[in-house]
């Protein structure tokens, strides 16, 4: 991955940025990061909180899985995280390294190691991610402004129709609909048509 692409990952808002974690490399073969231990990373006894290590395992595994998934037109979501805390750390620089265990069509498993200044192993974990084309297809439609899913409130048989994407739509409402719908070329079959309708959507 190019430096520009890594910079875009590091610019994304959220937990990773708030924790000061910097992604160094991201490829289908490995993902690396580092961060300086600060007070915000500590638990009550003054050592790095185990949740930070879990979060790093989740982050690196997810980025690695995404590097494999996106060229295939897939999106990924983490489904399992198993992290062992091996050594207590109070300060210094920590570095994370993730490598793939499996890169299957539907699931990805990545092993992650977190080491300290002297290369001592601090934590080790494994993240499992699930890959899906369903939400990826919906996201592509939404991003292009072509269409968004719209459920007909008057329908009782679970059918739905497509309508032009509206600027009044929110990302949350569209993702909620995409997760409840099975997209086909021209129609959407919704499992929960009524619950998936944001109130602000105009009727087509």
DSSP state of 42: B
* Interior/surface letters 58-75, b for 16+ CB within 10 angstroms, e for the rest: bbbbbbbbbbbbeeeebb
Catalytic: which of 58, 111, 119, 199?
Answer: 58
Are 43 and 49 in contact by the 8 Å Cβ rule? The answer is: yes
Please classify residue 38 by burial: count the beta carbons closer than 10 Å to its beta carbon, then call 0-12 exposed, 13-18 middle and 19+ buried.
Answer: exposed
39 Cβ contact list (under 8 Å, min separation 6): none
Are 150 and 163 in contact by the 8 Å Cβ rule? The answer is: yes
66 Cβ contact list (under 8 Å, min separation 6): 75, 76, 129
DSSP H helices in 14-167:
15-18, 50-69, 134-144
For tokens 């924790």, what's the residue? 19
Residue 168 falls in the annotated catalytic set: no
Separation CA 149–CA 201 (nearest Å): 10
Residues recognised as catalytic: 58
């Amino acid at each position: 991955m190019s430096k520009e692409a890594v910079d875009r990952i590091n610019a994304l808002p959220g937990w990773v940025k708030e924790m000061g974690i910097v992604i160094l490399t991201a490829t289908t073969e490995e993902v690396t990061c580092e961060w300086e231990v600060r007070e915000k990373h500590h638990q009550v006894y003054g050592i790095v909180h185990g949740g930070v290590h879990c979060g790093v395992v989740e982050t690196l595994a997810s980025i690695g899985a995404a590097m494999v998934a996106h060229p295939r037109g897939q999106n990924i979501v983490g489904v399992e995280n198993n992290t062992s805390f091996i050594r207590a750390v109070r300060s210094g620089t920590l570095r994370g390294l993730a490598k793939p265990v499996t890169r299957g069509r539907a699931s990805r498993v990545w092993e992650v190691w977190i080491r300290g200044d002297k290369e001592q192993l601090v934590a080790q974990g494994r993240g499992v991610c699930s890959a899906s084309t369903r939400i990826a297809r919906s996201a592509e439609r939404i991003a292009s402004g072509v269409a968004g899913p719209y459920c007909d409130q008057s329908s009782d048989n679970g059918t739905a129709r497509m309508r032009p994407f509206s600027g009044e739509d929110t990302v949350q409402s569209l993702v909620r609909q995409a997760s409840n719908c099975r997209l086909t070329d021209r129609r959407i079959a919704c499992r929960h048509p009524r619950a998936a309708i944001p109130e602000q959507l105009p009727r087509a």
